[in-house]
A and B are shown apart, each in its own frame.
Chain A
Amino acid sequence: MTNMIAWEKDADGIVTLTMDDPGRGANTMNETFQRSFTETVERLVAEKDEIAGVVLTSAKKTFFAGADLNLISKATVADAPELTAQSMAFKSATRALETLGKPVVAAINGAALGGGLEIALACHRRIALDVKGSEIGLPEVSLGLLPGGGGVVRTVRMFGLQKALMEVLLQGQRRKPAAALEVGLVDELVADPAELIPAAKAWIKANPEAVQPWDVKGYKIPGGTPSNPKFAAMLPAFPANLRKQLKGAPMPAPEAIMAAAVEGSQVDVDNALRIETQYFVSLATGRRGS
């Protein structure tokens, strides 16, 4: 089986990875992608001494379209072990990518929603093309799901619990690139497609030692966690206000997102990713009804 992620190394040692699902008009989180992604990350790890950095981009009009809903909507409780294993395999690949020791840049050439943004969040920098029709966000909640590819864990660590929940996760806002820049989901915009890859490479050359903030010793989640008295004083109002907003509607996803975010904030990244997967699987398999 072929790898749908093209590998191209330039003279400076920067590898450009181009996602291009041969069977579809858009890249999705299907089996082909998951296998290709894992293989590609394994190769990056194996060859990292000869690599200066990585650019991740897409050959499609969009960057990445997110989960393959056909697969997820069919899941039942019996699929839990399989879904859990798949989710964790993807996450260990993203962890290997962000802890590679080399700068990794997502060159977001078009819409990055759901799983697409989650892959980009596992990169050290996100540069988006400011193109019409492009949208960036984690809209899983509107499908009754949660961002189960690290989106909860990483946005909480980027923005703090309150902002991640209110501005990204609980309502699943889709943002134009400029708005995504403003909220902090992307770091930089370029106007012209021809500038995208050069901008990514320029950042790599300027930041040869890139590391995620949460992998730096002494890192603290902005705004505090339940162990912080100030944050703890506000926390009980979170689920109460959620209940108030939902007016008793049987919608399990927002609660699961909030729970995964808060619980995950109290442990290390790897355990947080596990907790996120458990809540994701409970929603995907319908175990977590209302």
Chain B
Amino acid sequence: MTSEAYIYEAIRTPRGRGKANGSLHGVKPVTLVTGLIDELRARHPQMDTNAIDDLVLGCVTPVGDQGADIAKTAAIFAGLPDTVAGTQINRFCASALEAVNIAAQKVRAGWDQLVIAGGVECMSRIPMGSDGGAWAMDPETAYDTYFVPQGISADLIATTEGFTREDVDAYAVQSQQRSAAAWSAGHFAKSVVPVKDRNGVILLDHDEHMRPDTTLESLGKLKPSFAGIGEMGGFDAVALQKFHWVEKIDHVHTPGNSSGIVDGAALVVVGSEQIGKDFGMVPRARIVATAVSGADPTIMLTGPTPATEKALRLAGLTVDDIDVWELNEAFAAVVLKWVKDFDLPMEKVNINGGAIAMGHPLGATGAMILGTVVDELERSGGRYGLVTLCIGGGMGLATIIERV
């Protein structure tokens, strides 16, 4: 029997600084996930875990401690019933939102009734890119397809769109201010589950990458992060050979206006209407539409625009229908371009801050920001929210939800 897909719960860990001095560096990825599974069981004791069909987790660098299907590993280690399956997926930066979308598609197809979706990434332990891959590592593939790293793509977007260093830094200041305001107003109180050690002692209860005192002046002092690889690594030349009408790349992105490297995990409970009735759980939002799109792989991070268009079309909605807009802050220019493409009012975009301030744990972010939108719709009384992320390789993913 087919059904609408509903979101019943959305929780996340706080985000730890993605370095050896980060508070979560000593915590295993599998433990971040099982901690959240424990929280789900505590929050919903009436939910029969035997009804869970699958645990779908995003993870972008699935090697080492994150390798070999961390989803099923976590399901076993958390003591979920043996019949609960688990699969790890990789849609790069949008992996956890893809996990939610897959869960929604399973439920709407009627094959599964209850799916836990989300993701995990411990970037302090498993560095970005350490899983290799032909696009960056195979010379024939890289050469023929004009591979460049994301930072170069972000700088290329700023260049082609005419965003200055001041523009992107101003956006970064806003991200810091909004994140700080959201934290102090308690907007994350419902979703954030502190990470504890094995004795119940709290290791981290807040997003520790934030720098609320950031100003335009302090950001202005930072050196561009990607000018070096652009020049010495040859990547500027690669991008400019493809975008031959561009004269030179303006390297505007710095550690202050790029997404932070952090550790974290998130889970979302997606189920049919019947599941809510069976276990007395109240749906919080309905998943209205899911959309994925490709985009040019070299400029790479422009995919949110076609994905957003596709999701709106599938949902039969227009830009004006959306009350809460959320685009992962991979880099400031990515957000500015998308806002420009749809002429969005900044008061409706990333209102609780984002990854520039709080960090972007690659495989988990999509579920984290979906949860932020669920909470925001409930708080503001808005109806529709749209969540989207830019994705490596030139892709975009979008999900539209409706508060119920």
Q: A residues near B, CB below 8 A? A: 226-227, 229, 232, 235-245, 247-248, 255, 258-259, 262-263
CA distance A259 to B140 in the complex (A): 5
Report whether A262 and B139 are in contact in the complex, using a CB–CB cutoff of 8 Å.
Answer: yes
User: When the two chains form the complex, which single residue of A226, A244, A255, A263 contacts B238, counting CB atoms closer than 8 Å?
Assistant: A244
Q: Closest B residue to A234 by CB, please name it.
A: B233
Provide the bound-state CA to CA distance between A240 and B232, in Å. 10
What is the 8 Å Cβ interface bit string for chain B, positions 221-258, against chain A (1 contact, 0 not)?
00000000100111111100100000000000000000
A238, B235: Cα distance in complex, Å: 10
Question: What residue of chain B has the Cβ atom nearest to residue A237's Cβ?
Answer: B233
Question: Chain B residues with Cβ under 8 A from A262's Cβ?
Answer: 138-139
Q: Check: B109 CB closer than 8 A to any chain A CB.
A: no
Contact assessment for B138 and A240 in the assembled complex, using a CB-CB cutoff below 8 Å: no
Residues of B within 8 A of A243 (CB): 143, 146, 234, 237-238, 241
B139 cross-chain contacts in A, Cβ below 8 A: 235, 238-239, 242, 255, 258-259, 262-263
How long is the Cα–Cα vector from A217 to B241 in the complex, in angstroms? 44
Q: How many angstroms from the CA of A263 to the CA of B138 in the assembled complex?
A: 7
Closest A-B pairs by Cβ, 4 of them = A240-B234, A244-B237, A241-B234, A237-B233
Contact B149 A236 (CB under 8 A): yes
A226, A229, A243, A259: residue with the most chain B Cβ atoms closer than 10 Å: A243
Instruction: Report B101-148 residues with CB < 8 Å from chain A CB.
Output: 130, 132, 136-140, 142-144, 146-148
Minimum C-beta distance from B260 to chain A (A): 21
In the complex, the answer to whether A244 meets B234 with C-beta atoms within 8 Å is yes
Bound-state Cα–Cα, A123 to B238, Å:
40
Task: State in angstroms the CA–CA spacing of A82 and B137 once bound together.
Answer: 32
Residues on A with beta carbons closer than 8 Å to the beta carbon of B140: 255, 259, 263
Minimum CB–CB distance for A272 against chain B, Å? 15
Flag if A236 contacts B137 (CB, 8 Å). yes
Residue of B nearest to A236 (CB): B136
Contact A241 B137 (CB under 8 A): no
CB pair B148–A235 under 8 Å, yes or no, is no
Q: In the complex, which residue of chain A has the Cβ closest to the Cβ of B142?
A: A239
CA distance A61 to B236 in the complex (A): 48
Looking at the assembled complex, report how far the CB atom of B335 sits from the nearest CB atom of chain A, in whole angstroms: 26
A289 to chain B, nearest CB (A): 12
Q: Which residues 138-177 of B sit at the A interface, judged by CB distance below 8 A? A: 138-140, 142-144, 146-149
Of the candidates A235, A245, A247, the one having the most CB atoms from chain B within 10 angstroms of its own CB is A235
B146 to chain A, nearest CB (A): 8
